[in-house]
Amino acid sequence: MSQNILVTGGAGYIGSHTVLQLLLSGYRAVVVDNLDNSSSVAISRVKELAGEHASNLDFHKIDLRDKPALEKLFASMKFYAVIHFAGLKAVGESVQKPLMYYDNNITGTIILLEVMVAHGCKNLVFSSSATVYGSPKEVPCTEELPLSALNPYGRTKLYIEEICRDVHQSDPEWKIILLRYFNPVGAHPSGHIGEDPCGIPNNLMPFVQQVAVGRLPSLKVFGNDYKTKDGTGVRDYIHVIDLADGHIAAVKKLADPSVGCEVYNLGTGKGTSVLEMVTAFEKVSGKKIPLVMAARRPGDAEIVYAANGKAERELKWMAKYGIEEMCRDQWNWASKNPYGYEKSA
Ligand code: NAD
Ligand code: UDP
């Protein structure tokens, strides 16, 4: 019998890729999403890509803060585990609307945990972020580095991690894996699912993609005076399929009796600058990305990349794809869906 996995936020960018990998690995996936930052077309596309596994996917348009709706779902079936992606993630917006972020991300998580425990499901994989390292004093970032947050979005991740540690401390039956993602980019190699942000993108690669398809005129490079190889910021970009596979590894790890509340970085361990990323994208797409050098973005760290040894040792997981594949798949998705899901051909 396949295990049922509840995936909150499963219509979103990382969620949709993870749901596909879950289905292909033989799990049943039940997605809960309010579609605030996603489209139900993503769910239909995942079903198409899943082929014979498509019938193992169910979708429910539910807001996590709607406790009665969540209760009803948990009463209708047993879940082996929950992968919890649902949350708001725009740093700038979180500075403007902190209460909205605390309510959505933290209240949503508390309600989810309450309903889980009421129905005897105590296995959780949570989407944390490298943002909890703040501006790291040293790289690579090991899981033991001191934690800090630079904005309300980051604080929601930090507080949810602490909530999870407290919940586990109070009841050791809980098994919780906190995954700290570095910078997810790329798309499924088919080009049928990918990232479709609302409005003007905040992140580098969705912005580059929109310049490449002619939706935006040029990329502003936020700072070229950092102490890095070419002066631009350095990050650890990770292919979204590798990230999705990291979740499968985490779900498998939940069966290990030694798991309590654990934290793992999901990154490649390699740092890439903004200019290196743009050059790689230009090479695979054949598109010129006009650049405008701009001031540093407030709150940006100079260099962030992961120490990935812990995930490798304990989850038996390692990223397989490099920058070239990330850019190739980003471009494949962009060129097939220049206006995202709703208006794509
Ligand atoms: P996304 O916005 O594409 O997906 C999040 C999904 O959650 C969306 O489909 C949205 O509609 C849904 N959602 C939001 N609030 C909800 C609620 N209250 N109830 C039900 N559904 C709700 O984002 P993503 O890039 O796929 O990120 C997934 C998770 O990973 C988020 O928690 C994010 O903070 C975290 N994360 C993302 C990145 C990144 O760069 N993309 C990096 C680190 C961590
Ligand atoms: N960046 C940039 N222009 C943009 C968006 C991002 O130069 O329009 C830079 C940013 O300063 C950082 C890197 O690209 O050095 C990655 O930024 P992103 O927002 O994608 O990720 P984060 O900073 O949250 O790790």
Q: What are phi and psi of 308, to 5 degrees?
A: -110, 10
Cα 167 from Cα 173, distance rounded (Å): 10
| Whether residue 184 has its Cβ less than 6 Å from ligand 1 | yes
CA of 204 to the centre of ligand 2 (A): 5
Cα 93 from Cα 139, distance rounded (Å): 28
Cα 6 from Cα 31, distance rounded (Å): 6
CB burial of residue 338 (10 Å; 0-12, 13-18, 19+): middle
DSSP letter for each residue of 78-129: --SEEEE--S---HHHHHH-HHHHIIIIIIHHHHHHHHHHHTT--EEEEEEE
Determine the pLDDT at residue 343.
67
The ligand whose atoms approach the alpha carbon of 195 most closely is 1
Half-sphere exposure of 152 (CA within 13 A, CB side): 18
Q: Which two tokens stand for residue 175?
A: 């098994």
| Whether residue 154 has its Cβ less than 6 Å from ligand 1 | no
Query: Which residue of the set 13, 27, 101, 153 is catalytic?
Result: 153
The residue to which tokens 């980051």 are assigned: 154
CA of 230 to the centre of ligand 1 (A): 32
| Whether residue 297 has its Cβ less than 6 Å from ligand 2 | yes
| Whether residue 233 has its Cβ less than 6 Å from ligand 2 | yes
Under a CB-based contact definition with an 8 Å cutoff, are residues 194 and 13 in contact? Answer: yes
The ligand whose atoms approach the alpha carbon of 299 most closely is 2
- Tell me which of 39, 40, 85, 132 to substitute to probe ligand 1's pocket, judged by most ligand atoms within 8 Å of the beta carbon: 85
Determine the pLDDT at residue 345.
44
The ligand whose atoms approach the alpha carbon of 233 most closely is 2
* Nearest in space to 72 (alpha carbons), one of 15, 32, 22, 126: 32
Under a CB-based contact definition with an 8 Å cutoff, are residues 106 and 159 in contact? Answer: yes
pLDDT per residue rounded down to tens, the chain (345 residues): 689 999 999 999 999 999 999 999 999 999 999 999 999 999 999 999 999 999 999 999 999 999 999 999 999 999 999 999 999 999 999 999 999 999 999 999 999 999 999 999 999 999 999 999 999 999 999 999 999 999 999 999 999 999 999 999 999 999 999 999 999 999 999 999 999 988 899 999 999 999 999 999 999 999 999 999 999 999 999 999 999 999 999 999 999 999 999 999 999 999 999 999 999 999 999 999 999 999 999 989 999 999 999 999 999 999 999 999 999 999 999 999 999 997 654
* Nearest in space to 112 (alpha carbons), one of 137, 87, 140, 148: 87
Q: Return the number of other C-beta atoms located less than 10 Å from residue 226's C-beta.
A: 19
SS3 200: coil
CA of 33 to the centre of ligand 1 (A): 9
CA of 274 to the centre of ligand 2 (A): 7
| Whether residue 226 has its Cβ less than 6 Å from ligand 2 | no
The ligand whose atoms approach the alpha carbon of 272 most closely is 2
Known active-site residue 153:
yes
DSSP letter for each residue of 208-224: HHHHHTTSSS-EEEE-S
- pLDDT digits over 85-142, tens only? 999 999 999 999 999 999 999 999 999 999 999 999 999 999 999 999 999 999 999 9
The answer for residues whose C-beta is within 8 angstroms of residue 135's C-beta and 6 or more apart is: 148, 150, 301, 302
Rounded to 10 degrees, the C-alpha dihedral 132/135/136/142 comes to: 20
Looking from the CA of residue 91, the nearest atom of ligand 2 is: 24
CA of 14 to the centre of ligand 1 (A): 8
CA of 303 to the centre of ligand 1 (A): 24
- Tell me which of 36, 125, 164, 205 to substitute to probe ligand 1's pocket, judged by most ligand atoms within 8 Å of the beta carbon: 36
